[in-house]
Amino acid sequence: MFRAALLIALCAGLSLAQSHSVALTFDDLPLAGEGDGATAAEAARVNHAILAALARHHATATAFVNEKGIEKIGIAPGRAILREWLDQGHDLGNHTYSHPDLNAITLDQFRDEVVRGEASLTPLLAERGRRPRYLRFPFNHSGETKEKRDAVAAFLAGRGYTVATCTIDNMDWEFARAYYVALARADRDTAAKLEAAYLRYTADEIDYYSALHQRVFGHEIPHVMLQHANRLNAAVMDQVLDLFEKRGYRFVSLDAAQADAACRTPDAPSSFGPMWGYRWAKALGIKVDGRLEPAFPTWVGDYGKNPK
Ligand SMILES: [Zn+2]
């Protein structure tokens, strides 16, 4: 508990200056969750829509790339999309080559995934005198045993990586899966219902995680929002960003968010991929009840899974 008290005291000094801020992140570039249906044109459309919304809200973000997805839509069009993110002032990070589950692969296989994940990132960032600095674990699986977690962490640090945290998610991949089905069926009513349900759930999750951090640290720390490059976010990113703005959030870089003292709280090994607020609560011995987290709408999870 001494460590908790010390951290709270350290953080309290920062709380006035940093009331509400959030770093935006987008995973699975060039296009999340569309399997073999991904085309260069669709990936470009989705990324352009998200980038345009970010520009309208004067927000910069960090986007995490799966190199295999770049290969799938074509190296030239794939890298053109990545260049647009960099040209517009955003950063790119490594999300591994093929998005494997770290729980199911060896350390050697993971190392190979990270190195192959740099194939486009390294030359594109080098054009700007930069290099890949952040890695986000697929499924946020960061090592299910202490040995594996520590070995992976040492490898990443040696290669110059910082692990990207995330503190708010809104299960956008599940809403986006249903949205993809609705669009394929030309079911406009359901697509509109999904957009509305997604925004409601996102608002509830922002408020929930804001309160969770209050409980863990005694004040709100900078958030890191996890979303994906998908069609749903392409359609509603303006409204998602509005939700943050209405609550008084400033958009900050991942560097700024992760500079907070809270990010130096230890992380416990886990075979799940919880948001960092839960990990920090566990490390600090603070009891939180995950059952209080807003429920994901059952109908969204069911939609399109049973043949009609
Ligand atoms: Zn991912």
> How long a stretch of residues is the chain?
308
Q: Quick one: tokens of 250?
A: 């400033």
Q: How far is the CA of 299 from the centre of ligand 1 (A)?
A: 23
pLDDT of 36: 63
Task: List residues, by chain if needed, whose CB lies under 5 Å from ion ligand 1.
Answer: 27-28
Assess whether pLDDT exceeds 50 at residue 14. no
Q: Report the separation in Å between the CA atom of 112 and the middle of ligand 1, taken as the mean of its atom positions.
A: 17
Phi-psi region of 304 (alpha: psi -120 to 50; beta: other; left: phi over 0): left
Distance of CA 115 to the CA centre of its chain: 20
* DSSP 8-state assignment for residue 103: G
pLDDT for res 303: 95
| Superfamily of 2-302 according to CATH | Glycoside hydrolase/deacetylase (3.20.20.370)
Q: Is 61 helix (H, G, I), strand (E, B) or coil?
A: strand
Residue 78's pLDDT band (boundaries 50, 70, 90)?
Answer: very high
CB 92, CB 125: distance < 8 Å: yes
H or E element at residue 277: helix 276-284
Q: How does residue 39 score in pLDDT terms, banded at 50, 70 and 90?
A: very high
Give me the helix-helix angle, 188-217 and 276-284, nearest 10°: 20
End-to-end CA distance of the chain: 55
Of 64-68, 83-87, 276-280, least confident by mean pLDDT is: 276-280
Say how far residue 294 (Cα) sits from the centre of its chain. 19
DSSP state of 160: T
Q: From ligand 1's centre to the CA of 218, what distance in Å?
A: 30
Mean pLDDT of the chain: 92
CA distance 272 to 139: 8
Which segments within the chain are labelled E, that is strand? 21-29, 61-65, 91-94, 134-135, 162-163, 168-169, 223-228, 250-252
The reported pLDDT for the residue numbered 15 is: 43
How far does residue 101's CA lie from ligand 1's centre (Å)? 10
What per-residue confidence (pLDDT) applies to 264? 86
Ligand 1 centroid to Cα of residue 5, in Å, is 34
Whether pLDDT at 307 is above 70: no
Residue 301 φ then ψ, to 5°: -65, -30
CA atoms within 13 A on the CB side of 284: 25
Residue type, 280: W
Tell me what percent of the residues of the chain surpass a pLDDT of 70.
Answer: 93
For ligand 1, the distance from its centroid to the CA atom of residue 28, given in whole angstroms, is 5
- Distance, CA 139 to ligand 1 centroid (Å)? 6
Ligand 1 mean position to 227 CA, how many Å?
Answer: 9
pLDDT digits (tens, 9 = 90+) for 97-131: 999 999 999 999 999 999 999 999 999 999 999 99
Q: How far is the CA of 163 from the centre of ligand 1 (A)?
A: 14
- Ligand 1 centroid to Cα of residue 138, in Å, is 5
pLDDT tier, 236 (very low <50, low <70, confident <90, very high otherwise):
very high
Q: Are 257 and 199 in contact (CB under 8 A)?
A: no
The neighbour count for residue 213, using CB atoms within 10 Å, is 23
How far away, in angstroms, is 285 Cα from ligand 1 center?
29
Which tokens in the block code for residue 229?
A: 């490059």
CA 66/CA 98 separation, integer angstroms: 6
CA distance 115 to 156: 10
**Residue 10's pLDDT is what?**
47
User: Which tens digit of pLDDT belongs to each residue from 166-197?
Assistant: 999 999 999 999 999 999 999 999 999 999 99
Q: Measure 31 CA to ligand 1 centroid, in angstroms.
A: 10
Share of the chain above pLDDT 90, in %: 83
Q: The tokens 């089905």 sit on which residue?
A: 181
CA 280 to ligand 1 center in whole angstroms: 22
Whether residue 266 is preceded by a cis peptide bond, meaning omega within 30 degrees of 0, is no
Rounded to the nearest whole angstrom, what is the distance from the C-alpha of residue 107 to the centroid of ligand 1?
Answer: 19
